[in-house]
C-alpha cells in the first residue's frame, strides 16, 4: 500500500473552543489508484490532506492521534527536515486556486525551476530547460516563449496546468489534488481532468482527489470515501456506491442531484445543516438530519460496518446500512 | 407564449479601454455584452447558462439597472426602461429585483437582518407604512423558512444557505414581478442547494414571479427553467425550451458544453462521447470576426470567419418534421447531435457549484490576447 491513513484525529484550538475537524479517519491509496474523497465544506477532507502533506498550521491545528503510513513509514514520526524531503519529491499537492497558490512576483519558469534547484541541486540554466519540458508536458502552447511569463498572464485553465506541472516535476508517487477544477469552467475542467488522469496513468501515481462534485468523482475515481463531520461515513468502489449507497448521507447527496424525471417536482433535499464542529451531535453525527435515525443513533457512534451485500470491499458507518441499501 | 413581461432587444454593454491620462483616447472596448435579445413571459423562468466571462452577469446587472447599457432596449411591459429616469424609473425598479450570488458579501455585516430586509421600504415607503414594516419583515422571514424571531440577528450568525434565504427575502420585500437571480446557489453546499432551489420554486407559484435564472450549473438550470439561453462571449448562441436545448442542441458550443459536464454515473464513463474544446475563451476585448465561437469550433470553415451567424431557426430545420431541433441557434452549420447515447437519460446531470465563485476569474487575459 502506497499510503495508509489510520485513525487520524485533528483538532483546532480556537478562542471559542476546540473544533474537532478530523475524528478518526482511515483510508488508503495504492499505486496507480484514484481515491476520491467526497464531502461538503467543513467535512474535514482538506484538513486530512494537509495533515498527510505536513502543511497543517500548527497551532491552531493539532494532530492528536493516528498514523500516516507512507510506503510503510509513519510520517508523523519524521522530523520536519525529513518531511521536507518527502514533500515535493515523493508526494505533491495541487491546490484549488492556482492564482493564489502561485507566487505573483516570480515567473512561472522560476517557480517550476525551483523544484529542481532546491531538491536536485541543478543549475538555473538546466532548471529552466526542465521547466520548459514540464510546460510542454502539460500542453501549454509555446512553452519556450512563455516560460518567463508571470501567473497573471495565464488563463485559469493554463494556471491550473502549471500547478499540475509543478506537482509532477519530481515525479512523485502520490498526488493530492484538492478541488483541482472547482474554479474552472466546465469545458476547461474537462481538459484539465483528462490531462491529470493521463499523466497519472503514465507515471502510475496514486491520486487522492478531494472534491464535492459527484460528477467528477463518477468520471475518474476507482474508490470513494465519503466524509461527514470529520469521519468517513462510507467507503466503496465507485460503481457500487453509485448503484446502491449504504449510508443515508451518501444516498441524500446522490438524490439531491436534479434528474430528468424530477423536472417540475420538488428536489430531494437533506434537511437541516451540517453540524458545528465544536458541538458535534452525540451518537452518529448525521442523526439530526437522517430519515432513518432511531434512538440508538442518538447515543451510539456507529463503527465502520463491513457491507457484505451489493459489492465487496465496502464499509458504512450506519447502524442501519442494510435498510439504507434496500430502502 | 403569453404576453412578454420583459423584452430585451439588441442589448449591448461595452467598457471602453483608454490610453493616456490627460488626453484620454479610446483604444478599444471590452465587449462584455454584444447584442442580446430575449423575451420573458409572465410566470416563466428563463435560464441563462454560460462560462465565466460570457457576459451573463452583466446582462443581469443591466436588467436591474445597476449598469447602463451602451445600446439596446429593455422593455418592461412595453416601456423601454433604459430611457426612463426619476420617478418613472423608480417605479419600474420596484418590480424588478435581484438575488445575488454570494450570500457572504451581499449582506451588510453591520446591519441586522430586519434592517437588511426592511431597507427596500426606506426607498419605496409607499409599499409599507412605517409602523407596519417590522411585521412585514417577520412575515417575509417566515415565508423564506427562517424563524421570525431572528429579526435582530446579524448576518454572521447564519449559515450560507440561511443567508441566501435572507437575500431572497430582501428581493421579495417589494413584491416584485420579476426576480433576476445571478448564480443564487453556486456558493452553497450540495445538500443545501436543493433546499434553496425548492424554496425558489415554491415562491414562484406563491407570488406569481417571473425568474431570470443565471447559472453555470446546467442540471440546476434545467430543473428550474422553462426556457434556456446559452451565452458565449457576449451573445446568446442558442435559445429554446429546456428539452430543445438539452436533448436536441444544434449549436456546437452547446453540444460541447453539455458533453463536458461530468455525469454522476460511473457506468456512463465508457460509452460517453465527450467533445473536448481546444484552448480558452477569447478575450472580449478582441472578439474573433464572423462567428465568435469559430476559434474553438471543430466545424469552422471559411464562411464562419466572414459572416456573423444570426440567432434564428437554422434553414435546415425550418420544415415541419424538424420537431424540437427547430429552435433559435446561431450557427451556419447547425446540426442535431445526440451528445449522449439515448440509454443515458440524465446526460445533462450534475456539475455542482464551485466553492469558489467562478465569476472571479472573469477578467483574466487569455492566451489569444498575448
Query: Residue B332: how many CB atoms within 10 A of its CB?
Result: 19
Bridge-based pairing state of the strands A305-307 and A231-237: unpaired
State which residue of chain B sits closest to A228, comparing Cα positions.
Answer: B191
* Integer Cα distance of B233 and B228 in angstroms: 17
| B2, pLDDT greater than 70 | no
The yes/no answer to whether this complex scores an ipTM above 0.90 is no
The band of B358, judged by pLDDT with boundaries at 50, 70 and 90, is very low
Mean pLDDT on B219-248: 91
Residues within 8 A of A (CB atoms), B 253-272 only: 256-257, 260-269
The reply to whether residue A187 touches residue B219, judged by beta carbons under 8 angstroms, is no
Query: Residue B289: how many CB atoms within 10 A of its CB?
Result: 11
| B217, pLDDT greater than 70 | yes
Q: What 3 state SS string does chain B have?
A: CCCEEEEEEEEEEEEEEEECCCCCEEEEEEEEEEEEEEEEECCCEEEEECCCCCCHHHHHHHHCCCCCCCEEEEEECCEEHHHCCHHHHHHHHHHEEEECCCCCCCCCCCCCHHHHHHHHHHHCCCCCCHHHHHHHHHHHHHHCCCCHHHHHCCHHHCCHHHHHHHHHHHHHCCCCCEEEEECCCCCCCHHHHHHHHHHHHHHHHHHCCEEEEEECCHHHHHHHCCEEEEEECCEEEEEEEHHHHHHCCCCHHHHHHHHHCCCCCHHHHCCCCCCCCCCCCCCCCCCCCCCCCHHHCCCCCHHHHHCCCCCECCHHHCCHHHHHHCCEECCCCCCCCCCCCCCCCCCCCCCCCCCCCHHHHCCCCCCCCC
The reply to whether residue A256 touches residue B193, judged by beta carbons under 8 angstroms, is yes
The reply to whether residue A262 touches residue B223, judged by beta carbons under 8 angstroms, is yes
Best of B198, B231, B269, B350 to substitute, by most chain A Cβ atoms within 10 angstroms, is B350
* Integer Cα distance of A158 and A164 in angstroms: 10
Residue with grid cell 451510539, as numbered in its chain: A300
The reply to whether residue B191 touches residue A218, judged by beta carbons under 8 angstroms, is no
Is there a domain that residue B312 lies in?
Answer: no
- In this complex, the residue of A154, A182, A260 whose CB is nearest that of residue B345 is A260
* Integer Cα distance of A198 and A132 in angstroms: 19
State which residue of chain A sits closest to B282, comparing Cα positions.
Answer: A155
State which residue of chain B sits closest to A237, comparing Cα positions.
Answer: B266
Q: Is domain A1-90+172-284 in CATH 3.40.50.300, yes or no?
A: yes
Is there a domain that residue B327 lies in?
Answer: no
| B360, pLDDT greater than 80 | no
The reply to whether residue B274 touches residue A190, judged by beta carbons under 8 angstroms, is yes
Low-confidence winner among A18-32, A118-132, A184-198, B142-156 (lowest mean pLDDT): A184-198
**C-alpha distance from residue B47 to each of B179, B266, B287, B358 (Å):** 12, 28, 24, 17
Domain boundaries, chain A: 1-90+172-284, 99-171
The reply to whether residue B197 touches residue A258, judged by beta carbons under 8 angstroms, is yes
Is there a domain that residue B91 lies in?
Answer: yes
Mean pLDDT on B152-159: 89
The band of A262, judged by pLDDT with boundaries at 50, 70 and 90, is low
Rg for chain B (alpha carbons), in Å?
21
Query: Do A317 and A229 form a contact (C-beta atoms < 8 A)?
Result: no
CA distance B194 to chain A (A): 5
Own/partner pairs for B286-294, CB < 8 Å, 24+ apart?
B286/B28, B286/B368, B286/B369, B287/B31, B287/B34, B287/B233, B287/B234, B291/B330, B291/B331, B291/B332, B292/B232, B292/B233, B292/B234, B292/B235, B293/B232, B293/B233, B293/B237, B293/B251, B293/B252, B293/B253, B293/B331
Residue with grid cell 505536513, as numbered in its chain: A54
Cis peptide before A201 (omega within 30 of 0): no
The reply to whether residue A263 touches residue B364, judged by beta carbons under 8 angstroms, is no
Is there a domain that residue B146 lies in?
Answer: yes
Cβ of B132 under 8 Å from any chain A Cβ?
A: no
Condensed to tens digits (0 to 9), the pLDDT of residues B277-322 reads 877 788 888 889 999 999 989 888 899 999 999 998 888 888 777 7
Is there a domain that residue B252 lies in?
Answer: no
Cβ of B351 under 8 Å from any chain A Cβ?
A: yes
User: Could you tell me the residue range of the domain that residue B44 belongs to?
Assistant: 1-21+37-217
Condensed to tens digits (0 to 9), the pLDDT of residues A25-58 reads 999 999 999 999 998 888 888 899 999 998 888 7
**C-alpha distance from residue B91 to each of A45, B41, B84, B116 (Å):** 49, 20, 10, 20
Best of A36, A153, A155 to substitute, by most chain B Cβ atoms within 10 angstroms, is A155
* Integer Cα distance of B72 and A6 in angstroms: 62
State which residue of chain A sits closest to B296, comparing Cα positions.
Answer: A187
The reply to whether residue B356 touches residue A182, judged by beta carbons under 8 angstroms, is yes
**C-alpha distance from residue A297 to each of A281, B80, B160 (Å):** 10, 60, 27
Residue with grid cell 510506503, as numbered in its chain: A71
State which residue of chain B sits closest to A153, comparing Cα positions.
Answer: B365
Residues within 8 A of A (CB atoms), B 150-209 only: 159, 161-162, 189-195, 197-198, 201
Residue B193 belongs to domain with CATH number: 3.40.50.300
Partners of B242 on chain A (C-beta within 8 Å) are 263
Is there a domain that residue B130 lies in?
Answer: yes
Chain mean pLDDT for chain B:
84
- Please state the domain count of chain B: 1
Condensed to tens digits (0 to 9), the pLDDT of residues A155-175 reads 888 888 898 889 888 889 999
pLDDT at B36: 93
B180 pairs with which residues across the strands? Answer: B98, B212
Query: Residue A237: how many CB atoms within 10 A of its CB?
Result: 17
B71 pairs with which residues across the strands? Answer: B12
The reply to whether residue A218 touches residue B257, judged by beta carbons under 8 angstroms, is no
The band of A278, judged by pLDDT with boundaries at 50, 70 and 90, is confident
Is there a domain that residue B233 lies in?
Answer: no
Low-confidence winner among A262-266, B71-75, B120-124, B256-260 (lowest mean pLDDT): A262-266
Cβ of B323 under 8 Å from any chain A Cβ?
A: no
Condensed to tens digits (0 to 9), the pLDDT of residues B251-286 reads 999 999 888 888 788 887 777 778 888 777 888 888
pLDDT at A261: 64
Nearest to A146 by CA among A119, A111, A188: A111
Length of chain B: 370
**C-alpha distance from residue A17 to each of A22, A231, A258, B159 (Å):** 15, 20, 38, 19
| B343, pLDDT greater than 80 | no
| B125, pLDDT greater than 50 | yes
Partners of B346 on chain A (C-beta within 8 Å) are 259-260
Nearest to B351 by CA among B213, B195, B219, B225: B219
Chain mean pLDDT for chain A:
88
Amino acid at each position: 500500500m502506497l499510503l495508509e491513513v489510520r485513525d487520524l484525529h485533528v483538532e483546532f484550538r480556537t478562542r471559542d473552543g476546540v473544533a474537532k475537524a478530523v475524528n478518526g479517519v482511515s483510508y488508503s491509496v495504492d499505486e496507480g489508484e484514484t481515491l476520491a474523497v467526497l464531502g461538503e465544506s467543513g467535512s474535514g477532507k482538506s484538513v486530512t490532506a494537509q495533515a498527510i502533506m505536513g502543511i497543517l498550521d500548527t497551532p491552531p491545528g493539532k494532530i492528536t492521534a493516528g498514523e500516516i503510513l507512507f510506503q510503510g513509514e509513519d510520517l508523523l514520526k519524521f522530523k520536519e527536515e525529513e518531511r521536507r524531503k518527502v514533500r515535493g519529491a515523493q508526494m505533491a499537492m495541487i491546490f484549488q486556486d492556482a492564482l493564489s497558490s502561485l507566487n505573483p512576483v516570480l515567473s512561472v519558469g522560476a517557480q517550476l525551476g525551483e523544484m529542481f534547484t532546491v531538491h536536485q541541486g541543478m543549475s538555473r540554466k538546466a532548471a529552466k530547460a526542465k521547466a520548459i519540458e514540464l510546460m510542454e508536458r502539460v500542453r501549454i502552447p509555446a512553452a519556450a516563449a512563455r516560460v518567463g511569463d508571470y501567473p497573471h498572464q495565464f488563463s485559469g485553465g493554463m494556471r491550473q496546468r502549471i500547478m499540475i506541472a509543478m506537482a509532477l516535476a519530481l515525479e512523485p508517487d502520490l498526488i493530492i489534488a484538492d478541488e483541482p477544477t472547482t474554479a474552472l469552467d466546465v469545458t476547461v475542467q474537462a481538459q484539465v481532468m483528462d490531462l491529470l488522469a493521463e499523466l497519472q496513468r503514465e507515471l502510475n501515481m496514486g491520486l487522492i482527489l478531494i472534491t464535492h462534485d459527484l460528477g467528477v468523482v463518477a468520471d475518474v475515481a476507482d474508490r470513494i470515501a465519503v466524509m461527514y463531520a470529520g469521519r468517513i461515513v462510507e467507503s466503496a468502489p465507485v460503481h457500487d456506491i453509485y448503484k446502491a449507497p449504504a449510508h443515508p448521507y451518501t444516498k441524500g447527496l446522490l438524490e439531491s442531484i436534479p434528474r430528468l424525471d424530477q423536472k417540475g417536482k420538488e428536489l430531494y433535499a437533506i434537511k437541516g445543516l451540517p453540524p458545528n464542529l465544536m458541538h458535534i451531535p452525540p451518537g452518529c453525527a448525521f442523526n439530526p438530519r437522517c430519515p432513518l435515525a432511531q434512538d440508538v443513533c442518538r447515543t451510539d457512534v456507529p463503527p465502520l460496518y463491513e457491507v457484505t451485500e451489493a459489492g465487496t470491499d465496502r464499509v458504512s458507518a450506519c447502524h442501519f446500512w442494510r435498510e439504507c441499501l434496500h430502502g | 407564449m403569453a404576453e412578454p413581461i420583459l423584452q430585451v432587444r439588441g442589448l449591448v454593454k461595452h467598457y471602453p479601454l483608454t490610453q493616456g491620462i490627460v488626453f484620454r483616447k479610446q483604444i478599444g472596448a471590452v465587449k462584455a455584452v454584444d447584442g442580446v435579445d430575449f423575451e420573458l413571459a409572465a410566470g416563466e423562468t428563463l435560464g441563462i447558462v454560460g462560462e465565466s466571462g460570457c457576459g451573463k452577469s452583466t446582462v443581469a446587472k443591466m436588467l436591474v439597472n445597476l449598469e447602463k447599457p451602451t445600446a439596446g432596449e429593455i422593455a418592461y411591459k412595453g416601456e423601454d426602461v433604459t430611457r426612463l429616469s426619476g420617478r418613472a424609473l423608480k417605479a419600474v425598479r420596484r418590480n424588478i429585483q435581484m438575488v445575488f450570488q454570494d450570500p457572504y458579501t451581499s449582506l451588510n455585516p453591520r446591519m441586522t437582518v430586519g434592517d437588511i430586509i426592511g431597507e427596500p421600504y426606506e426607498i419605496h415607503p409607499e409599499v409599507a407604512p412605517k409602523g407596519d414594516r417590522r411585521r412585514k419583515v417577520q412575515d417575509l422571514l417566515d415565508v423564506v423558512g427562517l424563524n421570525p424571531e431572528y429579526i435582530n440577528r446579524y448576518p454572521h450568525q447564519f449559515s450560507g444557505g440561511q443567508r441566501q434565504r435572507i437575500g431572497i427575502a430582501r428581493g421579495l420585500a417589494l413584491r416584485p414581478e420579476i426576480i433576476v437571480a445571478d448564480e443564487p446557489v453556486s456558493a452553497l453546499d450540495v445538500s443545501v442547494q436543493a433546499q434553496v432551489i425548492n424554496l425558489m420554486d415554491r415562491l414562484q407559484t406563491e407570488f406569481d414571479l417571473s425568474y431570470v435564472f443565471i447559472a453555470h450549473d446546467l442540471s440546476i438550470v434545467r430543473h428550474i427553467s422553462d426556457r434556456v439561453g446559452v451565452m458565449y462571449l457576449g451573445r446568446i448562441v442558442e435559445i429554446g425550451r429546456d428539452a430543445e436545448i438539452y436533448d436536441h442542441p444544434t449549436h456546437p458550443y452547446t453540444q460541447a458544453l453539455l458533453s463536458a459536464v461530468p455525469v454522476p454515473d460511473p457506468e456512463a464513463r465508457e460509452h460517453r462521447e465527450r467533445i473536448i474544446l481546444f484552448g480558452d475563451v477569447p478575450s472580449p476585448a478582441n472578439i474573433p470576426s464572423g462567428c465568435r465561437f469559430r476559434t474553438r469550433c471543430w466545424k469552422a470553415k471559411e464562411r464562419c470567419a466572414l459572416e456573423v451567424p444570426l440567432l434564428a431557426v437554422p434553414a435546415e430545420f425550418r420544415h415541419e418534421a424538424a420537431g424540437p431541433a427547430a429552435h433559435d441557434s446561431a450557427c451556419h452549420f447547425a446540426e442535431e447531435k445526440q451528445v449522449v447515447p439515448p440509454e443515458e437519460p440524465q446526460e445533462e446531470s450534475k456539475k455542482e457549484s464551485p466553492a469558489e465563485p467562478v465569476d472571479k476569474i472573469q477578467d483574466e487575459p487569455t492566451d489569444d490576447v498575448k
